[in-house]
Amino acid sequence: MAEIKRIAVLTSGGDAPGMNAAIRAVVRTSLAEGIDVFGITNGYEGLISGEIMPLSRRSVSNLLQRGGTFLKTSRCESFEHEAGRKRAADVLKEWNIDGLVVIGGDGSFHGAHALYLEQKTNVIGIPGTIDNDIYGTDLTIGYDTAVSTALDSIDKIRDTAASHNRLFIVEVMGRHAGFIALESGICGGAEEILVPETKKTMEDLGGLIKTWARTGKTSSLIVVAEGDELGNAHDIAKEIHTRFHIDCHVCVLGHTQRGGSPTSTDRLLASRLGYHSVLALKDGKTDIMVGWMNNAISYVPLPETWEKKKPLDEELLKIYRILSL
C-alpha cells in the first residue's frame, strides 16, 4: 500500500456518546504522524456530495465531553448501490485522500467493506454503537454511557415502584441484542430481564410474577430489550393484564440512551481506538475494524464483525437469575 498522506474520518448510522472523542483522536494522531486529516459531514451522504473540510487540532477542541457527533451522521440510501460508492471513491480521489476511517456499526461497516472491495479504498472501522453488538470487540463506543443512562432511570423507577407497590416494565434499546438490558437489569436489581437471545413464554412470565407475590415482593421490575420476541414493553404489559389480570406500568427509555456526556470508559475507549485506527492505516492495514478485546487492541476483518454473532455473557445470565430470586 502506498504511503498514507491524507486521511478522512466520518460517522455513520446511529450516533453514540464518545464518537466526538474518537474523531478527536483520529485528527490529533494523524497530525502528530505528519498526515493531513479531513472531516466528512453527514456520513456517507456527505461523502457522496463532497461535504469535506480540513481539520486541525483546534477543530476538535472541547469535544471530549460532548455527546453525539459534531460531524453529524445520516443513513444513506445512495451508498447502498455501487454507483453511489463509485461516486464516493471519486470524491476521495479528487481530494487525494488515501485512507478513510468509518465510525459506526455493522451497517456502516458493510458500506466500508464494499468500498474497499469495489474501489480499493483503504478503510478502517471503529465500532461506535450503543448496542455493543459488534463481534471482535468487548466494548463499542457509546455502550457504557447508554447503560449508565438506562441504570439512572431504572433506579428512579425502582423508587416509585417501591413507594406504590407496583410492577414496572422498563424498555431499553436493543433490537437484535440484549447487552444494555442485561447489564442495566442486573445493576438495577430487576426481577426479570427479557432479551432477544433467550426464550421466554408469557406463561413463564406470569408464573414468575405470581411467585414474586407469594414470596412477599411488593414491587417488581422487568427490563426488556426492544427486540425481545414477546414484543415491546407495551405489548407485554397488555398481554400480562389480559392473561393474568395484573396491572403493569410501562416506561420506554428510548433515545435518551443515545445522548449525554460520555463516561470516562467511553472517552478512553474512543481515544484508544481513534489513535490505533490511524496507526493501522499507516502500517498498511485496511478493510479491518480496530477493537478492544481482553484489554488489548484487536484487528478484525470487517466481514467478521457482522458474519459472526457476539454472544451475551453466559455467566451474567446465570448471575441475574440467582440474584433476582
Q: Which residues are catalytic?
A: 131
**Cell numbers of 324, please?**
433476582
- For residue 24, with 0-12 CB atoms within 10 Å meaning exposed, 13-18 middle and 19 or more buried, which class applies? buried
C-alpha cell at 322: 440467582
Q: Which amino acid is at 226?
A: E
C-alpha cell at 164: 406504590
Rounded Cα–Cα distance for residues 281 and 291 (Å) = 14
| Cβ neighbours of residue 142 closer than 8 Å, sequence gap 6 or more | 15, 16, 17, 18, 19, 128, 129, 130, 258, 262, 266
Helix (H, G, I), strand (E, B) or coil at 6: strand
CA distance 226 to 246: 21
DSSP character for 312?
P
The string of DSSP codes covering 165-204 is T-EEEEEES-SS--HHHHHHHHHTT-SEEE-TTS---HHH
Buried b (16+ CB within 10 A) or exposed e, 159-196: eebeeeebbbbbbbbbeebbbbbbbbbbebebbbbbbb
Contact of 44 with 88, CB cutoff 8 Å: yes
Collapsing DSSP states into helix, strand and coil, what is residue 145?
helix
